[in-house]
Amino acid sequence: MATLAPLPVNTKLISDTALCVPGSPTVAWSPLRRISRDEYDNMVRDLLGDTTQPATNFVPESPMANGVYFETNTYTSVSTLVAQQYQQAAETLAQTAVSSATTLAAILPCQTQDDACAQQFIASFANKAFRGQFDSTESSQLFQVYSDVKAQFDFPTGIQAIITAVLESPRFLYVFEFGQGTATGNVVALSPYEVAARLSLFLWRSVPDDTLMQAAAAGQLATPTQVEAQAVRMLADAKAVNAIQDFTMQFLQLQGTPTLGKDTQFNVWTSDPQIGAEMQDETLTNVSQLVLVENGGLAELLTSPSSYVNPHLATFYGTPQGSAPGVTVNDSALVQGQTTFVKTDLSSSSRAGILTNGAVMATQAHTSLPSSVLRGKLVREELLCDQLQQPPPGIPPPATSVPEGGTTRALSAAHANMSTYCYSCHQYMDPIGFGFGHFDATGAYQATDANGVTMGGPFPPIDATGQVLARSAGEFATTFNGATDLVTQLAGAAQVQQCFVVQELRYALSRIETTDDACSAQQVFAAFSSSQFNIQKLLVALTGSDAFRYRSVETSGSACQ
């Protein structure tokens, strides 16, 4: 059953200190959700060693709400197609896992292929797949499945039946949280295994490892200090890259970057079919390296002139590739399978921070023209947490070419002024997007308003001045000249710093915030700001918050979660 998302509260959750009343924990309603496609793929990788990423072709998740683009199955129904996809994937994964003596041996905890070994496999595999929510009844049921199939076929086929049953189980596909102990008001503390599951889903997008399961079993996830200690350990693990890059992909809306189509006038794009995938990898590598290796902060994320590029992208940016040790990136979207990305200074092409990465600029653009609307909308909604209304039906699409003697900026202004209704939203987007005017539809730097045209000229100069209008009293407002000036001011804005905490809160909890999350959000922001806005400190502080460690109470017989 799908549930409706509440309306976002945004940065007022933090800036309005009156929303937090000290005392007992307060936590927003905790809906039931299915695991995401990214989580599914990571889980079967860690459970079975399978890296085929079967969930890639599953029905996509839905955005949380208008203006909040994190994709989650929190508010999505289960269709017949989804159920079929789960079934087919489970059967294929199980069959592959037992297809040879080698693959079977790799997943078994024992060498003897007998009933005792099957029991051990059930205890280890199912317990981890169900994130610790596994009891003797389920163990007996799985053993009966194994026994029935083994009697008709053989031991490997019995193990195959166990895997299939586990991967089709609601215990695997859904995140169940019931809480444990006595409720305080309308909230109850999560059980140790539920905390372990939240940690692994947030920081790894996968199942808990043995260390986390052992900590849960020993009651060592009971306090914020204990939970945060595990978070520090987990961020040092290579699996943390999965979550950082998944957050980045959704936060910057880069899911479709590898398949972007651009006009044939852009030779650099049409001559290199891999460039979209390489741009996506660049940004994902930038953020994961900054957060997990360089232990950097929000200001560096938004203003650093350096980026991780490979030789193709160095050519695109018009700069020699750096000489520092590189990072090997594996990507099935790339023809060569993997490539080395090296940290490189891109300041010569007016780059500063992730917003000026080619992937972001190319994605927030049209086929032939850059888009001040899309670029300004990204900043407004993702960096300032201001949600905007959808355009009304019947509004003509923007023009695809600039009239003779005109400019891209004038074309955008004409579109924004089509009606008072249009202007009421465009005034909060377009003037921000103008700051990125020096980047064409592919994200390449352009000195003049050529729009990718290779013939003709001279072309008019680009006016990259703009402004950020406050939507309500106390919000961030400024004027700027160019992208570097804009992102520098954004990096120092309290609203942007608060918004980043809210975005991480949404991602961690797979739901929209409410005022019941105010105390947690303000506590996390305090830790974030006191650490000079270090992103790892933010992530760790979030895991110790009440919003992360508690859930709302559900009474027996109440409506479906």
Task: Tell me if 138 is assigned to some domain.
Answer: yes
For 81, the domain range is 33-175
Quick one: pLDDT band at residue 375, thresholds 50, 70, 90?
A: very high
The model's pLDDT over 486-499, given as tens digits with 9 standing for 90+, comes to 999 999 999 999 99
| 69 within some domain | yes
Is residue 193 assigned to a domain? no
For residue 79, being part of any structural domain is answered with: yes
Q: Are 173 and 86 in contact (CB under 8 A)?
A: yes
Q: Is 108 part of any domain?
A: yes
The two structure tokens encoding residue 342: 């090296």
Give me the amino acid identity at 487.
V
Q: Is residue 554 very low, low, confident or very high in pLDDT (cuts 50, 70, 90)? A: confident
Is 144 among the domain residues?
A: yes
Q: Are 395 and 425 in contact (CB under 8 A)?
A: no
Q: Record the pTM.
A: 0.94
Q: What is the pLDDT of residues 4-27, one digit of tens each?
A: 667 788 899 999 999 999 888 999
At residue 2, does pLDDT exceed 70? no
Please give the average per-residue pLDDT across 214-240, as a whole number.
97
Question: How much is the pLDDT for 333?
Answer: 56
Section 93-120 average pLDDT? 96
**Average pLDDT value for residue range 425-443:** 94
Amino acid identity of residue 393, one-letter, is P
Q: Are 140 and 122 in contact (CB under 8 A)?
A: no
Task: Please tell me the distance from the alpha carbon of residue 402 to that of residue 449, in angstroms, as a whole number.
Answer: 10
Given the structure tokens 């799985």, which residue do they identify? 142
Per the structure, the count of domains in the chain is 1
Amino acid, single-letter form, for residue 137: T
More confident position, 477 or 561 = 477
The verdict on residue 475 lying in a domain is: no
∠ Cα 62 208 36 (to 5°) = 10
Q: Is 382 left (phi over 0), alpha (psi -120 to 50) or beta?
A: alpha
User: Closest Cα to residue 546, out of 243, 207, 204, 186?
Assistant: 186
What amino acid occupies position 360? V
Residue labelled with tokens 């918050």: 545
Q: Each residue of 131-177: pLDDT tens digit?
A: 999 999 999 999 999 999 999 999 999 999 999 999 999 999 999 99
pLDDT bracket for residue 331 (50, 70, 90): low
The mean pLDDT value of the chain amounts to 91
**Tens-digit pLDDT profile for residues 262-274:** 998 898 888 888 9
- Residue 14's Cβ-count burial label (10 Å; 0-12, 13-18, 19+) is buried
Q: Over 50: is that where the pLDDT of 1 sits?
A: no
296 is a domain residue: no
